[in-house]
Amino acid sequence: MAKKARSSKRREESLSRERIIEASIEILDSSGEGGLTFRALSERLATGPGAIYWHIANKGDLLTAASAHVVASTMEACVTGATPEATIRALALGMFDAIDAHPWVGSALTAAPGQLPTVRILERIGQQVQALGVPEQAQWATVSALLSYILGVGGQNAANAQFAQTHGLDRSRFLDEVATAWSQLDPQEYPFARSVAGQLGGHDDRMDFLAGVDLILKGIGASRRR
Q: How confident is the model at residue 4 (pLDDT cuts 50, 70, 90)?
A: very low
User: What percentage of the chain has pLDDT greater than the value 70?
Assistant: 92
In a domain, 177, yes or no: yes
* Per-residue pLDDT at 66: 94
pTM: 0.84
Q: How confident is the model at residue 14 (pLDDT cuts 50, 70, 90)?
A: low
Domain extent for 131: 81-225
* Per-residue pLDDT at 226: 65
- What average pLDDT score do residues 8-18 get? 62
Q: How many CB atoms lie within 10 A of CB 148?
A: 10
What total of structural domains would you count in the chain? 1
Q: Which of 31-45, 80-94, 161-175 has the lowest mean pLDDT?
A: 161-175
User: What percentage of the chain has pLDDT greater than the value 90?
Assistant: 59
In a domain, 65, yes or no: no
What would the pLDDT profile of 35-90 be if each residue is shown by its tens digit?
999 899 999 999 888 888 888 888 888 999 999 999 999 999 887 778 999 999 99
In a domain, 119, yes or no: yes
Q: Which helix (H) or strand (E) holds 66?
A: helix 59-77
In a domain, 29, yes or no: no
In a domain, 67, yes or no: no
CATH of the domain at 178: 1.10.357.10
What would the pLDDT profile of 129-139 be if each residue is shown by its tens digit?
999 999 999 99
- Alpha-carbon span 84 to 125, nearest angstrom: 9
In a domain, 63, yes or no: no
Query: Are the C-beta atoms of 158 and 103 separated by less than 8 Å?
Result: yes
**Residue 177 or 114, more confident:** 177
Q: Which of 60-69, 110-119, 120-129 has the lowest mean pLDDT?
A: 110-119
Is the CA virtual torsion 20, 22, 25, 26 positive or negative?
negative
Distance between first and last Cα of the chain: 75
Q: Looking at residue 34, what DSSP letter applies?
A: G
- Give the closest residue to 129 by CA, choosing from 226, 207, 223, 206: 223
In a domain, 31, yes or no: no
In a domain, 23, yes or no: no
